[in-house]
Structure formats: C-alpha cells, structure tokens
Chain A
Amino acid sequence: MSNQSLATSPEEQRALERFYFHEARLLDNRQYQQWLGLVSEQISYLMPSRVNVQVDNRARGNEDMISVERELEDQESMGCPIREETYIHLMVRVERAYKINSWSENPPARTRRIVGNIELMAREDDSLSVLSNFHLYYARPGNEDVIYSGQRRDTLLSQEEGFHIGRREVVMDYANIAMPTLGLLF
C-alpha cells in the first residue's frame, strides 16, 4: 500500500462515506442482523494485540523505530492476536445479542461512534482497500463509561448490491485494556 490515498472521484468517495455512515448507524441502533448483511461470508475479522516493544537500536533516527506495525502481534505473527474471527464468530455474537440471557448485554450498552478519515488506499478489480478511524463512546449500567479509539483496515468488495466487508483488521489504541470487552462490533 502506498502512503498516499488514491485520487478517487467525489462520487466514489461519497459512496464509501454513505456505506460507512450507514454501517455506523446500524451498529449504534443495535440492528446487528442488518449489519451482518453487509459482511461477506468469507470475512476475516481481526484484531491484533498491541505490545510495548523494545526499541531497536539499529533503527534509531528512522521512522521505523517507532512504527505502529512493530507494536502489533497480528495474524502472521507467532504471538496471539486478540481476535481472529470468521463469519461464524460474528454470527454467534449477533445471535447472542437478541437472547434474553446474554447477561453482559443486559441491559445493552449505549454506543455512539464517529467514523472518519475514510481513505481509499488501493484498488484491485472489485476489491478496495480502505482505511477509516473511529471513536466510540460506550456506556453501560454498572460500568464506567469508556471511549474506544481505533483504526479499521478494510477490504471492501464492490458488488452489485453495494459494498461487502471482505476483511477487517481493527487496530485499537490502548496502552492498558481498561475496557469491559474488546468483543464489540467495531
């Protein structure tokens, strides 16, 4: 992925925005079943874990020295990512949300997310690499309110009915995980 986003058309940028804003509204309105309709059945839904790494002396003076990538234990690593999920996992999460005995969601959380910095980074046939950032406010009775902040690295599949999420990697910004769960739909 080059460092510059693609010089896309206003129409295409608008289409991406429409998709992400719609998705955000579904998630905040707890319409997860409709959200699942936006997801490819082949999806990889990933969340690397983030560690405090040792400074590499040889990299001093270079941007590499403090790159975000060095902090991630992702799917390729021999560490342990926080989430490596498939459509089945997401289905379980969605089904669970509508059961009366889902105790950690009862009463359900109130969330509000702002999605922005939508950048189309690459295109290969019908598949688009898109970055976006989010801030998500989360409040639940009996818990302290928290803010989740992160970046999403998506592969969107452009199909006749619209976009489908083919891959999503969520890079969370935390030093300590002081949140009730990282198991939300981001």
Chain B
Amino acid sequence: MSLHISELVNEDASLISRRCWSDERVYALEKRGIFGKSWLFLGHESQIKQPGDFVQAYMCETPIILSRGQDGGIYANINSCSHRGLPVCRADHGNTKRFVCPYHNWSYSVEGNLMTIPQETEVVRKPDKSQLGLKRVPRVEAWRGMIFGSFDEAIIPLDDYLGDMRFYLDAFFDRFPQGIEFMGAPHRWVLNANWKLPVENQLGDVNHGAFLHSSIIPKEAQDMIEKLGYSVVTTPGHGATFRLMPEDSPIDEMAWGMEGMGGMFGGDEVQNYLREVQAQAAERVGDLRARMKGLTYGIYPNLSFLWSNTSFKVSHPRGPGKVEYWSWSVVPADAPDSIKKILRTNYSSFFGPAGILEQEDSEVWVQQFIGSNIDFADDRPYYYGLGLGEEKPHAELPGLVSVTANEFYARHFFARWRDELQAVEGMV
C-alpha cells in the first residue's frame, strides 16, 4: 500500500489517520523529518555542575552522553565507540575523567575526544586520533539551564525555537531566585504506545481529567480547572494550559505546590516556604503571571512539563509501538534539602511509574495503540475537530488562546508534523 502524508492528516488537521500512530514508514519519516531537525531536550545544567559530571540522554533512539567538560563547557556526544560501536558509557550518571570502551579499551575524555588506543604502539602507522573522537551533536544550546541538542547544523537558535513559550516557562522558572533543579536520575519506563500520545496528552489534554481520572480527581476540582483554565498555542507544536486565578484568591489557593500531596500534608515548613514564594511572585514575574497556575506544557516535538505536579518528561520513541518515557521531579534550587524532599512527592504521588493518576494515563496510551493498529477502519480517521477555529489572539497572553476543551493544540501539532514529514517524503 502506498503512503502519502497528505492522506494521513487533512488540511485543517481535524482528521488524523490511524496510520500516523502505527505505520513503520511514518516512523522512519519522523526520525528524519522531525528528530533529525528539531531541538531535542538533553538535560538540565543542575545535573552536570562539576567538570567531569555526565548524564545519559537520548535523541530519539540515539544514545547521548551529556557532560560538563574540564573547561566548564557543555558537551553532547553520541555514546558509541568509533572502533566497533559499543556504548562507552554504561552508568546513568556520574563523574569521570575517561570513558573506556570495554571491547579494546579505547578511551575518551569527558569532552568526547579519543585519548588512547592501547593497540597503536604495536603498529607502524598510527591512526589520527583527532578524527576518531565520539560523534559530537552538532548544535547544543541552553536556555535557563535547559540543555537542548540538534542534529541539524542549520537549525534556528534555541531562543527563537522556544519563542513565546519562554514567557510561559518563565512564569514558573523565574518564581524562584535560583531557578529550578532536577532531582536525581529520571524515572524511565517502557510502554507499548506511540510516542506522540503522551506528548499530545501533556500538550493540552486537560479535558480527560474529569473522565479518565474521575476516580481520583473530584468533580468540583475539575470544574474549577475548566472554569479558570486557558489553553494557548504559541507556535504550532508548543502549547501551555494553566489557570488564571482570580485576583482576590486566598494565597493558599494561588500558591504553586500547595495542592500536591507534599504541599498538603508536608507540614508548616514547606507550606510557609510555598507562601513565601507566592508572596514574591508578582515582583518576580509580574501581576499576571503571579496569578498563573500551570497545568500542562509541551515543547515540540517530545518535551513536556507538568507544572501542576512539577515534572519534566520526555517521550523517547522506540519504534512506532514502543516508547521509553522519562520523567524527572523538579524543585526550586534555593529550597533547603528538607523541603526539596517533601516537594518531590508532589510529583511521585500522582505521576511517574507508580503514580495514581499516571497509571490511568499510561493505560489509555497503550489501549490507543491497539486501536491504531486494527484493520478495516482506515476510512475512520480520529476526530480532532473539537473547537475548530475558535482560538483567538488575546490582549495579555501571547499566542492563540482558547478554552481547554478546544483541541487546537493537537491540530497545530499535527499540522506542523504533517508539513515536516512532507518535506522529507520520498527521501526514506
């Protein structure tokens, strides 16, 4: 059967073919047209503070070592030996002077340069080591400590790529005098699902809360979310949902972190800290953003930020039907350790591999992949038309803005996705 991208996503992206989720050929195009051409999230500077520090990362299926060089610079290299291709780094994180390949012990500096070839003393013509370092990720840039890499030498600067999402991300990052910090190694788990559904879910699908999560989220809480909720798309593929709290809301309702398990039951120390953060919010991020209480965020193609439960997530594809989902707990860098430890439970109680809510999300992501594989339903693409054309510019909020039930965040994602696949169609 021939494959035409134009037949998978219609003009206004209100109809999305099942094959977008399940076809091997679509996935091959995604690797080339999207993962080869976008800024992909690698890690946070708080994870590699000291020279020699490293963490592992992925760009799609390509394993990456993200490290802090002896010169203090940030390096990203493909974790694969130039001799026979083995991974040279096996630990999730650590600090080292050298990565030593197990097979023949070629060794690499933490910046990725090839330092020694044990066998070269025994041969006459010495290999040129300067040409045999680990393959460097050609573009690496950071914004507010968030490090991204791209395989596309010619990609636009990261700042421009993020665009107006910076306004919404800063509403969180800038609340804290020293920004944020990632806690420990990511939780990483494997699901039989397509990578795009976790992304779509965190990009703006607030609306499933009242239904899928009705056994946990009380109806009143969900009604409040929808009443005060906004959904925005800054650039197709990037989006944010949040509540804009009424100006006269009590501080305990307004403050970030209070409604999590750690915030609710963690005691006075943490609650006073959260009130303090909120008390300074207007000064730090302005009146409007001080009233902002985030829900879900998405950065194209596969980075998500769940502000409400303070977690960054990356959806790493492993084929059309498998995803390795990574998530980190994120805490204010200035908070004392005792408070960080309480605040991390705002994430882990409801999200992550044991999360009470996330077990419901991951269940439907897996079930959706089953539906996307069935035969004899190709004439029934998925309906993405809710709220078609109802999004509008807003006086104070950058981007297109609408109610959370409007699925425009997903339509914009798929319109961009379609165009980027079409640009490489026929090349794979």
Contacts and interface: CB of A to CB of B under 8 A. Distances in A.
B367 interface: yes
A51 B90 CA distance: 11
Interface string B339-358: 01100110111001111100
A8 interface: no
Contacts of A180: 359, 362-363, 366
A18 B95 CA distance: 47
Given A80-B328, A80-B347, A89-B261, A183 B359 contact: yes
A144 B191 CA distance: 11
A7 interface: no
Given A78-B183, A78-B340, A180-B359, A103 B364 contact: yes
Nearest to B262: A84
B214 A101 contact: yes
A55 B95 CA distance: 10
B185 A79 contact: yes
A82 B353 contact: yes
A183 B94 contact: no
Interface string B154-190: 0000000000000000000000000000011101111
B11 interface: no
B188 A177 contact: yes
A1 interface: no
B93 A47 contact: no
A85 B22 CA distance: 37
B348 A82 contact: yes
Contacts of A53: 91-92, 94
Query: Is the interface on chain A under 10, 10 to 19, 20 to 34, or 35 or more residues?
Result: 35 or more
A102 interface: yes
Interface stretch (A29-37, A91-99, A110-118): A91-99
A66 to B, nearest CB: 13
A81 B192 CA distance: 24
B196 to A, nearest CB: 20
Interface in A55-100: 55, 73, 75, 77-86, 88-89, 92-93, 96, 99
B329 interface: yes
A6 interface: no
Given A103-B363, A178-B189, A181-B354, A51 B93 contact: yes
A92 B359 CA distance: 14
B356 A142 contact: no
Given A78-B337, A182-B353, A52 B360 contact: no
A55 B265 CA distance: 38
Contacts of A92: 216, 356
A49 interface: yes
Contacts of A101: 214-215
Contacts of B349: 85, 89
B280 interface: no
Contacts of B348: 80-84
24 contacts: A52-B91, A55-B91, A75-B341, A78-B183, A78-B184, A79-B185, A80-B183, A80-B329, A80-B347, A80-B352, A81-B348, A82-B354, A84-B345, A85-B349, A89-B356, A92-B216, A96-B216, A101-B214, A104-B359, A104-B360, A178-B189, A183-B354, A183-B356, A183-B359
Interface of A: 47, 49, 51-55, 73, 75, 77-86, 88-89, 92-93, 96, 99, 101-104, 142-144, 176-183
Report, nearest first, the 8 A-B pairs whose CB atoms are least far apart: A79-B184, A54-B94, A177-B189, A54-B91, A182-B354, A104-B363, A181-B359, A183-B354
Interface of B: 90-96, 183-185, 187-190, 192, 212, 214-216, 261, 265, 324, 328-329, 337, 340-341, 344-345, 347-349, 352-356, 359-360, 362-364, 366-367, 370
Given A53-B94, A75-B341, 19 more contacts: A77-B184, A78-B183, A79-B185, A81-B344, A82-B352, A82-B353, A83-B354, A84-B348, A85-B349, A88-B265, A101-B215, A103-B215, A103-B363, A104-B363, A177-B189, A181-B354, A182-B353, A183-B353, A183-B356
